[in-house]
Amino acid sequence: FISWEFGKKPRSPLVDVNWESPHLVSVIVMKDPIDRRLSGDGGINRMFGKEEERTEEQWEAFAKYDGSINFMLTRLTPDRCGTEGENTTEECLETGKELLRRFTYILDVKCLDEGLEALAGELGFSLPYLNKDSGKTQVSARERIGDDELYEFILRRNQRDFELYEWSKGLSLVNCSALEDENSDSAGNGGGHEFVDENGTDDDIFTSFNETHDFDDEFSAEDYSVYNNETGSKETPDLVGEKSSQDIILVTNNNTDNNRFNNHEDVRLLQIENYKKGNALLLNIHITHHAGTTFCAAMKHVGNTPEHACNNGDDWPDSVTQHRPWEYNETDRNAIELRKVYHFISWEFGKKPRSPLVDVNWESPHLVSVIVMKDPIDRRLSGDGGINRMFGKEEERTEEQWEAFAKYDGSINF
């Protein structure tokens, strides 16, 4: 193990390193950019005073200090972009993402001890000691700064760094948000909704009944009950009550094919009706280079979406994990909660999903799912900064580079 520390910008671009070398395992630890600003050191304290003794004038000077603007992007990108603050381009952000995709592992300092444990398990060694308090900030950055206007000013100037950090959580070896949800569930027995069958067990996702409900008669939400752990009683979630000429057939998951409805078209109709009435979430399964950015931009004109490439945002509900994909039993709950905030979200997969996509409850009546498909060779030719650095720009590629591009294993049956 060795380490490269970059307090200053690298002398040569990090993108020029052969991160794909079979003899190199690379790790980067990511951190909330404002928490990083507040980490401080002797130099910062000499310039602006110690945090606990800082005056209003010193806090203002600290906020306006140019030396730490988009600190991560200015270290990660070849042209050291990011110094433009709030005017930093999305292209700069994408260049940072491209480099992060090339690293073997990404860890999040927010749950660094768990990340190191996972890393040790992956690489086959044990760690004798871990600081269980590492990376866990007890007081929020906003509270530490103590001035909402200054906090928002720092956030705006470092917005691209913040977007990079939020995006990196999806590639982190351990998803800290998911970990917090698990700890909360184990400590408080969940407290949320679980689906039960007529007999009161939690084995079935949908209430047991096989009868056909005609939408000429209003759909009865009482036939679709959920169990609340806190009250110990069945409750009825918000469902579509709109009249329709379509018959909806709901069945139990007892011995059915992979816990699915028998009639796929009926499921689609219920999902679509629920979306129209504000009771279902629209989700794009975004394979990288499958027009996810274009799709996201279009959906932003329709309604509220997560601000960071439609993948996550500041107003993401605390009750919903940011890990992806979801497990079967959490799909319905997460979709319901997110629909209260967004009409559309996206899951981008540049790397293979950490858990199988088949485990998601795609038949949830509160989820409308979309995937954009693309000719695989056109997708290969979409290219990005990483591909161009490996094989040259398409219009300048030599015969040898084209041959190496064709033989590259990283995109086989992507």
| Start-end of H helices in 141-260 | 141-145, 148-157, 159-168, 176-188
Phi, psi of 412 (to 5 degrees): -65, 130
Mean pLDDT by 10 residues, the chain (414 residues): 92 92 95 88 85 90 87 90 90 93 94 92 84 59 89 91 92 82 50 32 30 33 36 40 34 35 71 93 94 91 91 88 90 95 94 90 95 92 82 91 90 87
pLDDT for the residue 133: 53
Q: Indicate yes or no: pTM above 0.85.
A: no
As a whole number of angstroms, the distance between CA 196 and CA 181 comes to: 22
Residue 132 corresponds to which tokens in the numbers above? 């269980």
- Match 């994990």 to its residue by tokens: 321
pLDDT for the residue 337: 94
3-state secondary structure of 86: helix
Residues 6+ positions from 193 with CB-CB distance below 8 Å: 226, 227, 228, 229, 235, 237, 332, 333
